[in-house]
Structure 1
Amino acid sequence: MMGEYSNLTCSSNLTTAPDYYARLRPLTPLSYTWYVNNTKLYGETSKTLRSRVTRNHRYNQYSCTARDKLESDRSDHVIINPLYTPDKLMILPKPQLNLNDNLIVKEGDYLGPYTCTADCNPPCDISWKYKDSTSGDFFDVASTGLLIVHIVNRSIAVFRCFAKYSPDKDFKQIESIKLDVLYLDEPQLVYNENSPLYTYQEVLVQEKTPIHLFCHVNGNPNPSIRLHRGVNANIIAETNSSTWLNHTFASLQCSDTDEYTCTGETKGLTSRKKVVRINVLCDVRVNNKDKVEVIRGFNVGLQRTVIIKLPIIAYPQPVPSRITWVDPEGQMINGTNDLLLPTYELYSHLITSVVLLPEVDYYGEYSV
């Protein structure tokens, strides 16, 4: 094991004197020379070479010679195989982390390939796992150091590389890639706190009553949520500090009839939206924003006609067959032709009537 001591002993038999001579006179001690990769180690002349084992020993070859008056042949070389655990794990290529040391990735994208390596001897068993943030459990991804590709979803909190060292079953080292998964869900629209709205829905509400719209968009990071009105997408409410946007119409007017769109947006992701149409039920009345036009028409025998253009507000729209004109004496005028023309607003209409006047000029109030 690295950190322990290695003792290499150089042994050689002296053959320059007969055995009986060696018994009569003590022999001169042998001198030893040590070599590392064929390079002489100066100052090392002892029979035993003692050294503290480091990683570099695995790259070295040790040999020795012994000398009296003659020098022995060089010994066979010895290679020390140092055993050691890894100092650290390395993930390549190095993940590009943000200021919070997280890797930003979109939900549905692929993570990888990454290679996890460790310098250990004997080689470590390296594997990949990911942690599910919902259950807190780890799941196997790869049984080697190579993480090829893996589809990311929002529940994956971290990918982890594990290194196990065979000689020490209790040893384990870990290197992690923490994820910041970006995602954006479809908006959910609810009105009056308990009525969910689906893909596209029309809501009927009586005029002069309140309605509460709640728009929920789940995402990471918190999305920008906006409530738009109409085709021109006028913003009537917005937030980027919460996943909920609330808006209240305290007293609906017929003019509030329109499409309302809840939109969620996060940089780098496709925006999401949901649309609801609010139709406000309102009684028929003259639209005071527009003028009533009276145009002299054509003669019909001794009578003549007048064309009246009457702008009205109503939802639902009136039925043309049920439009009636009354003369100043309260008598219904027969033979009128009535046409109902819609405008660009669902609640606004234009009644165009061709009214046949009495034979004698008759002035007064005509009503519809």
Structure 2
Amino acid sequence: MRSAPCQLLVICVIVCAALDNDGTFPIKKKFMFGDVLFTWNGNRNEGFNVSITKDNAWIYWKHVNNSQNIEKNAWSFKTVEINVHRLNGEQVGKTTYTVQKTFSQAGQSVTFSWSTAFFPSAGVYTIYHTNKDNKSIIEVTSDGVTKMQTEKYEYHSYPYNSTHISFEIKNVSLEDAGYYAGGVTSEAAWLEGGIILIVNDKPSKPTIEGDLNITVDSFLELNCSSQSHSAPEYYTKLVSLHFMWFLNNTKLTNEYNSTLRRHVSRGDRNSQYSCIVKKDTVESAQSDPVQINLLYGPDTLRINPSVNEDSELSIKEGEALGPYDCYADCTPPCDVTWQYTDSYGNVHQVIFSKKTAKLNIIVNRTIILLSCVGTYKTSMTLEQNISLNVQYLDETQAIANGRHDPGQIVLEENKTLHLSCYGNGNPNPTIRLSKHNAVIKTLETIDDNWLNHTIERLQCFDSDTYKCTSTTTGFQNKEKRITVSVQCTIRLDTSFPVKTQYSSVVGEDVVIPVDVPVIANPAPLKSKVTWYGPTESNKVTSKIIRRDADYKYNIRGSISIENEQRIGNYTMLYDGKEIITIIIHAIKGLPQKSSGQNTVVVLGSAVGVTLGVLILTVLAAVFFLKRKKVEIIRKSILIENAIALEGIEHSSDEYAVVNKTSIDFQKFENDATIEGMEKGFLSLLSLSSLSLSLSLSLSLSLSLSVNLSCTKINA
């Protein structure tokens, strides 16, 4: 009867193993130094097809000729699944190995926990540590811990026969790295269910090696080396170190290798490099910086005060020249020499020095060239020159179409213009012809006495101020100007961006500014600019704006878009000639004005109507009075003419032209006339008051109507 529990236990183990392997024959799993060994029952020479899946991703399948398969570096995955079939397709088994791993830094403490299927009632439960070798570290019975290094380990499970195993490793070191598992036999040291402990310690402080004497425009190569402190060994082999490089304590991007290869230039002088080694989350200390010694020759010579290379310097004989400092930037320092060449071609050394040489010299007419020479390691030489000469310079002459110094010349478009510049000097000066308006443009330069320039067919853009200039170093330039005015008819300036499409909202205060670039000489007149648009009454004002030249103008039209009838095409004409057509489009989908705004507009319109009626009434009254007065005067004149002319027996109602002495109109203003005029005026005032009352009533009615409409709309 005592054997019944044991038989039941064996049956349970077999059933559980079968369930663990999807109901097929069991596959055994062992963790061995970072790898996992899968074994199953089968004939020794029987072939099998094996499929491997890691972290739920199918990796490969292969054929094996025995009943086992080793999966390398299984520790680096979370799960490794194997599915074994015989060659006839029959499944042998399928199982998954779950990898448990913990990372720790040296000096920390770590606690491990796992569950076991049962705790031996009479035997010993042993916890094993496997790294390079296998050893037991803790032994536990139902009564307590029988073996444990207390300063290193602490067992936490209680009661002692608990199937939940928990213990602590204190002050973790690299030697503690490896695989931890437990069971009742030594075979348990390799079984699934254990935990891998990976220990990282700071890599050693790195060192940098390489040739620090580096020539400019070559490649610097430095190596950063450090000793990795991590365990177990199978982890160290697979996980590589990462490197960070720093230039003057600034991290370099995209530099992660142990070797730094970098192009160096003059800007890398006195640069310092350092590195840091990183493994997972643990970084080493930063290495000591190394400074490169950049070797370079002179790329230029600098003269202070600065001069243009090979330029001529005018100076009177006997005057002092200098001081001029010539400097060459070199490592190691260059040899710097000042020397001069005389008119016979002989070279004379003035001063020699390292890196910098200062020139002070009294010149004479035989000195034609001063030179600063920089020499680097006897193999590289740079030279910068200053030419000297004693000169004179006469006034420049300008000739246009045979006329000497005309000052101004006016020609029609398509005519020919001949310009000549003459300068006299010793040596021959440089003659330059240039245009001077908003932008200075050199047309031609010659090192001779005469410069001739022809424009075969003048265009409007040739209108400009032309200047002949004679130049000799050390003298004030001699120049003569001619103003050329080319007459041309107005036309669109196609070289300037022209906008022909505009979009606009519609409103009383909306004005679209339109700029039309034109070419014209003389300047266009605003009075000759007209616009034709979509309606007969266009509200367009024009303004003439000069641009960067006398023949370039903008005609700015300001187009009022007060209603939708103003939207459309606008054609600009100058003196009846069509220049351009502008298209204005309406922007659709704009929000309507609020009811308050509509009320103000209607009220404003009503008040405007009222004021307009009042003004018209007053004007009518004035007109009535004036007409009455003129009628009285007219009749008086007719009476006077009748008296003055004999043979006229009765007055006429026709108008007559009489050349008589001026009549005193005051004598016709009798009481009856004045009374009639006053009555007429009072009648008109009464009519005006009645009109005003009607206008106000109409205004209030319109205002009330609009307010009610807006209220309904808003509701």
Q: TM-score when scaled to structure 1?
A: 0.49
Which structure: larger Rg? Answer: 2
Q: Whose RCO is larger (CA < 8 A, sep 6+)?
A: 1
- Give the TM-score taking structure 2 as reference length: 0.28
Q: Which has the higher strand share?
A: 1
